Amino acid sequence: MGSKHAVQSTGGKSKAPSLSLVEKNHAKQHERVVKLMKKAAALMNEAELSKAKKKLAVALKIEPDNFDCLQMMALIYQHERNSEMAFSYYEKAMLAFDPEFINPRSYLKVLLNAGQLAADMDRLEEAEAFYTAVLELDMTNTMALSKRARLYTEMGQLEKAYADFKSVIFFPDREEYAPLGLRFTAHTSIMQSTHIKPDETDIEMLKKDIEASTNDHHKLKYEFALGFGLEKLNRYDEAFEAFKRANDQKRKRISYSRKENLKSCNRIVSIYNKENVERFADIADYDFKPIFVLGLPRSGTTVTESLLGAHPEVNPAGELTYISDIALKIAALDDNKLYPEQFLDVSKAFIKSQIRYYKDNTKQFLKDGATTFVDKMPGNFMNIGVILTLFPNARIIHLYKNPMDACLSLFRQHFANGHNYCYNMGDLGGYYQTFRTIMEHYNKEFGDRIYNVSYEHFVENIGEEAPKMFEHCGLVWDDEYLSFYKSKRRVKTASVQQVRKGIYTSAVERWRKYDNGDNLIILKKALADYMGDEITEQVAEFDQRTAAELKAVQNSDDVKNFDIQLDGVNKPQVIKHD
């Protein structure tokens, strides 16, 4: 059981020689180790990790090179997020590996776990080496290929990533990996790469996987990937249909209410005003000045974070949940009220505790010369009132796109969690309206503390706008920061490919490429007030045309309803009786 100390049978017909006292002692001690390991495994299953560690520590005193013991100890420390200790035990397990006694698949598992841990610790070269070691022993290991491809993607080595992802698709799924969706990840990464254009073979292989898939969840994600691939081949009508199929499937699986979203928006606007926020001015932390980059997802927040992170005193911390955690804590103060009504009764002691909570959880980002960090959770636009209650001098950067481009970007994106407003154009349009209402409110109440940036203007005038943004954040500008996309740091959000591409303008006015017939009319109706005369006229023409169509059938018994913004419906249509 993972140890060289196990006593081996001699085999053959002759009688086995009697064991020496030393051998008997070894056998007895090994039996004890096996029992300790079994007890430790049971404790691990019951989440009694401290007790399990004690059992394994005793076992390792007896057999310091027991591969299974070392691996189990590494897993415990990894679960406890003690990365350094976990890594040291994985290294010890590798040294203890002996193919004569240990199943090679167990060794490959250790290499994979060590590679993932090294990647999480930003020890990128070591992570690459571990994954490569797996592939040298097992060249068709799709898990190692997928992990190494993802690592290459985050490091900006996209050609290498492409080769590995192609291999993941080429080799058949192994039974143990099939539920993990490695093929989906590979297809998506190829189709969404900004540096690699899929060929017809890539498209056809993806279509075959869509047709063959019996997993509806995987199928809808494949459809999103197909949409991106077709878009890159300039086949926009086909791409739209793929995105629409994916969104329609997703919308059937989730719950979302435009009415509730609007009510929530109205409460935020009503309660998070200057008067209520400044009730806590005497206890707020004015010296703590993190940078919050916020707005709708897919509006340039990741690229902006990376640009700011090029400054040696700024640590790009990614999408942190701590502010939304605090909002949830406020909501939990009184279940009989609707958030954020509870804010009106919040105590100063509670606010002080949340200042400590945020600072304690983010102090890890203030190291290696960093004097501040970027919290780029886009949805914090709803929580500006919370942010300024805690940290009145926080630097807030609000990014916004052309409304049609902003919504279409979200319609094309499958999110792993949340963002349930994205999968129907009527929902999207309504959500965008509340987003604008909230930001107009916060700019009215706290305009001097918010730096508003148009994405389109920013990318067209980066040399002029970037220094202004840095000045707002209290940072000294240097032109060398414009090469931020060459950084070797990892980027872990859906925008990783865009960051590696740097500042680009190809996303500007993308919506026009999809503007065929009535494809986008639902968005146009919702966003007309923000889009100018061209869209207003198109909406008016559509309304006249549909009114005439309705009038033509209004005396017919087969018409049940006529509503272009029904939940789950992304195209105008007459809904008839069955």
DSSP 189-244: HHHH-SS----HHHHHHHHHHHHH---HHHHHHHHHHHHHHHHHTT-HHHHHHHHH
Query: Does the bond joining 340 to the residue before it have cis omega, within 30 degrees of 0?
Result: yes
Cβ atoms of 237 and 406 closer than 8 Å: no
What pTM, to 2 d.p., does this model score?
0.78
pLDDT for 547-558, tens place per residue? Answer: 887 777 666 655
Query: pLDDT over 70 for what percent of the chain?
Result: 88
242 has pLDDT over 70: yes
**Band (230; pLDDT cuts 50, 70, 90):** very high
560 has pLDDT over 80: no
- Please name the residue that has the structure tokens 């009220």: 337
pLDDT score at 481? 92
pLDDT for 367-418, tens place per residue? Answer: 989 999 999 999 999 999 999 999 999 999 999 999 999 999 999 999 988 9
pLDDT score at 531? 94
Q: Where are the domains of the chain?
A: 1-102, 258-510, 513-576
Cβ atoms of 463 and 263 closer than 8 Å: no
Q: For 1-102, CATH number?
A: 1.25.40.10
Residue closest to 131 by CA, chosen among 102, 167, 99: 167
pLDDT score at 267? 98
> Who's near 26: CB < 8 A, 6+ residues apart?
5, 7
- Please name the residue that has the structure tokens 């999207």: 428
Q: In angstroms, rounded to a whole number, what is the distance separating the alpha carbons of residues 96 and 85?
A: 17
345 has pLDDT over 70: yes
> Who's near 271: CB < 8 A, 6+ residues apart?
340, 341, 343, 344, 385
Query: pLDDT over 90 for what percent of the chain?
Result: 71
β-partners of residue 488 are none
pLDDT score at 192? 84
**Band (181; pLDDT cuts 50, 70, 90):** confident
Give me the chain's average pLDDT, please.
Answer: 88
pLDDT for 56-72, tens place per residue? Answer: 999 999 999 999 999 99
pLDDT for 45-56, tens place per residue? Answer: 999 999 999 999
pLDDT for 299-331, tens place per residue? Answer: 999 899 999 999 999 999 999 999 999 999 999
**Band (179; pLDDT cuts 50, 70, 90):** low
573 has pLDDT over 70: no
pLDDT for 188-204, tens place per residue? Answer: 889 988 778 898 999 99
What average pLDDT score do residues 517-523 get?
92
Please, what CATH class does the domain formed by 258-510 belong to? Answer: alpha beta
Residue closest to 266 by CA, chosen among 167, 159, 382, 154: 382
Cβ atoms of 371 and 313 closer than 8 Å: yes
- With H, G, I as helix, E, B as strand and everything else as coil, classify residue 472: helix
